[in-house]
Structure formats: structure tokens, C-alpha cells
């Protein structure tokens, strides 16, 4: 029964995202590419989108404060249960770091939240 509820919640969130934003939910991007000219990447704060649920917002805010990303995407991919997340981060703090160290940095920031999760999909990179 819980699995069915999770699927229903996930499906309703996908439909809501498509209606509110006007494009598919998987295409959501929250980057700072529209920053004013001359602004450094660290001077633009990525704003949390309105459709994030409470747990997604906690993850988003933690990473946003710690990494000052130019792009940040957080999505609950467990079907709304909060047990698995997909996270995509672009941050200057990743410059020169191998992917393993980038992931360790994200894991360290989210260590308290990750304890309650089943899994996480991380994509990290420095701006090009």
C-alpha cells in the first residue's frame, strides 16, 4: 500500500511540475546562467524552486549554503517517500578535485540527512 501511495505522490508531483513550469519534470534546471554581466559565480545565489517538498528543500538549502553552486538540482526519486534522491551540483569548490573527492564533500555536507536514506545519485562538477 505504501508503494502505491509513493507512486501516486510521485506521479502527481510530475504532473504539477509540467503544468507549473511548462516543460517536463526531468528538464528542471536551477542555474545562475542569467546572472548580471561581471558578476562572479559566487555572488549569485541559486534560489530554491517552489515545487520542492520539505525534505528536498532541506537538502537544497544545505548544499546551497555550503557550496554556493552555480547550478543545483535536487529531486526525490523514491516516489515521494524521501528515501532516495538525485542531486546535480555545479560549484567552483569542485575545481581541481577528482569526482570521488567532490562526492565526499557532498556526502560530508549531507551526512545527517543521508543516514535516513536508502540511496543517492550524485552528479558533481566544476563550472566550465
pLDDT in tens, the chain (128 residues): 555 555 555 555 544 444 444 444 444 444 444 444 444 444 467 888 888 899 999 999 999 999 999 999 999 999 888 899 999 999 999 999 999 999 999 999 999 999 999 999 999 999 98
CA 36 to chain centre: 23
User: What's the pLDDT tens digit per position in 7-17?
Assistant: 555 555 544 44
Q: What is this structure's pTM? A: 0.67
CA 25 to chain centre: 13
Domain count, the chain: 1
Range of the structural domain that residue 103 is part of: 45-125
Q: Is residue 50 part of a domain?
A: yes
Q: Is residue 26 part of a domain?
A: no
Listed residue (73, 71, 84) closest to 114, CA to CA: 84
Q: For residue 113, give the CATH number of its domain.
A: 3.30.300.90
Q: Is residue 71 part of a domain?
A: yes
Q: Is residue 1 part of a domain?
A: no
Do residues 67 and 104 lie in contact, with contact meaning Cβ atoms separated by under 8 Å? no
User: What's the pLDDT tens digit per position in 62-77?
Assistant: 999 999 999 999 999 9
CA 50 to chain centre: 13
Backbone angles phi, psi at 33, to 5 degrees: -70, -15
Amino acid at each position: 500500500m505504501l508503494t502505491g501511495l509513493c507512486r501516486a505522490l510521485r506521479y502527481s508531483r510530475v504532473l504539477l511540475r509540467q503544468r507549473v513550469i511548462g516543460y517536463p519534470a526531468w528538464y528542471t534546471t536551477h542555474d545562475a546562467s542569467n546572472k548580471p554581466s561581471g558578476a562572479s559565480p559566487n555572488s549569485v545565489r541559486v534560489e530554491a524552486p517552489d515545487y520542492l517538498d520539505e525534505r528536498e528543500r532541506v537538502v537544497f538549502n544545505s548544499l546551497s549554503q555550503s557550496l554556493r553552486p552555480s547550478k543545483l538540482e535536487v529531486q526525490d526519486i523514491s516516489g515521494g517517500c524521501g528515501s532516495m534522491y538525485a542531486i546535480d551540483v555545479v560549484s567552483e569548490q569542485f575545481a581541481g578535485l577528482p569526482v570521488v573527492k567532490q562526492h565526499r564533500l557532498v556526502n560530508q555536507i549531507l551526512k545527517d540527512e543521508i543516514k535516513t536514506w536508502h540511496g543517492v545519485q550524485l552528479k558533481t562538477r566544476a563550472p566550465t
